[in-house]
Amino acid sequence: MQRVRLRYTKRGRLRFTSHRDFQRAFERALRRAEVPMAYSAGFTPHPKVSYANAAPTGTGSEAEYLEIALTEARDPDQLRALLDESLPAGLDIVDAVEARTSGLADRLTASVWELRLDGVALADAELAVDAFMKAETVEVQRKMKNGMRTFDARAAVASLEAQSAEPETQSPQPDRPTDQPCAILRLVVRHVTPAVRPDDVLSGLRAVADLAPPVPAAVTRLAQGLFDEETGTVTDPLAPDREAVAAAPLMAAATAAATASA
């Protein structure tokens, strides 16, 4: 009867939860919130939940998306609040909209990532970024299901820049060192095949400039959506649904007026 699209986060220590862990927690939240879920057919029915492009385990995210199917209509804002109350802090439902368009997954074509490099001076990060962006190809290796695979990490990176970690603009992270220099990398990565992940970009920086942070980078996905080639930005994938919802009353009023005049 109704499809609702949700944006959720993985913050703090909850960034270490796997996608399967989140699935279990979310299904428990659906039961606690008494959401009228639609279920699949067959011997083992399960809630109709579609997950889109989940972030790797160990990375934080401000922009994860899923879609649920309901057997009864619900107000998206009230549904968001109920589900958010039923999830642990760190796994937060931050946005909800009724699905009025198709192809949510098709609108997730790029991600904006932030990499916190503790122990790396800004000047060193800038030199590495410059070398990476000037390279035509940057080959890296990653172990996949079929063994080690070599691929180009450079082509998928639409933009990459380094900036200093300003205390007044960066949220505190208790599990990160605070007495060392820290550089922040902000990058936009297109979703290609094979997928280029933030750790692949770090491997590329190590290959072209010998940049090796002394501690593992803290990685956070800030946004994901449709990549605008003209502006180089990533747009909100839920915007078309919000526009369709807002336009529905106007279209209904226009239809009613036309019918009445006829």
Lowest-pLDDT range, 69-73, 78-82, 100-104?
100-104
Q: 65 has which bridge partners?
A: 7, 52
Of 77, 106, 135, which residue constitutes the final position of a domain?
A: 106
Band of residue 223 on the pLDDT scale cut at 50, 70, 90? very high
Domain limits for position 22: 2-106
Please tell me whether residues 51 and 116 are part of one structural domain.
no
Higher local confidence (pLDDT), 252 or 193: 193
Same-domain check for residues 81 and 8? yes
- Tell me what the mean pLDDT of segment 168-175 comes to: 50
Chain-centroid distance, C-alpha 26: 17
Let me know whether 70 and 112 are in one domain.
no
What CATH number does the domain containing 55 carry? 3.30.70.580
**3 state SS of 252:** helix
* Identity of residue 143: K
Considering only residues 224 and 171, tell me which one the structure prediction assigns the higher pLDDT: 224
What's the burial of 236, exposed, middle or buried (CB within 10 Å: 0-12/13-18/19+)? Answer: middle
Please check whether residue 92 is in contact with residue 8, taking contact to mean a CB–CB distance below 8 angstroms. Answer: yes
* Mean of all residue pLDDT scores within the chain: 90
**Cα distance between residue 85 and residue 102, in whole Å:** 28
CATH code at 139?
3.30.70
Structure-token pair, residue 66: 């899923």
SS3 131: helix
Q: Which residue's entry shows tokens 């070599």?
A: 150
Strands (E), 56-212: 60-70, 93-98, 110-118, 139-144, 147-152, 157-164, 182-190
Of the residues 106, 140, 170, the one at which a domain ends: 106
Residue 162 belongs to some domain of the structure: yes
Q: Quick one: 112 and 160 in the same domain?
A: yes
Q: Is residue 101 exposed (0-12), middle (13-18) or buried (19+ Cβ within 10 Å)?
A: middle
118 and 169 share one domain: yes
Answer yes or no: do 198 and 219 share one domain: yes
pTM for this predicted structure: 0.88
Is 113 in the same domain as 218? yes
**Residue 253 in this model has a pLDDT that exceeds 80:** no
- Band (pLDDT 50/70/90 cuts) for residue 145 is confident
Mean pLDDT of 155-159: 96
In a domain, 239, yes or no: no
> Residue 170: pLDDT above 80?
no
Residue 257 in any domain: the answer is: no
- Per-residue model confidence (pLDDT) at position 169: 45
Q: Residue 28 is inside which H or E element, if any? A: helix 19-32
- The C-alpha atoms of residue 96 and residue 151 are separated, in whole angstroms, by 37
CA distance 9 to 71: 26
Q: Is residue 244 part of a domain?
A: no
Asked if residue 250 is part of any domain, the answer here is no
Specify whether 167 is located in the same domain as 202: yes
- Name the domain count of the chain: 2
Q: Are residues 163 and 91 in the same domain?
A: no
Q: What is the helix (H) or strand (E) element at residue 224, kind and residue range?
A: strand 218-225
- 216 found inside a domain: yes
Q: Is 171 inside a domain boundary?
A: yes
Based on the domain organization, do 101 and 143 belong to the same domain?
A: no
Q: With the C-alpha atoms ordered 16, 19, 24, 30, is the resulting torsion angle positive or negative?
A: positive
Residues 53, 39 share a domain: yes
- For residue 179, pLDDT over 80 is answered with no
Token representation of residue 89:
């802090």
Among 52, 84, 106, where does a domain finish? Answer: 106
| Tokens 């930005």 belong to residue | 233
Neighbours of 28 (CB within 10 A): 12
Considering the domain boundaries, does residue 200 fall inside one? yes
Same domain, yes or no: 212 and 172: yes
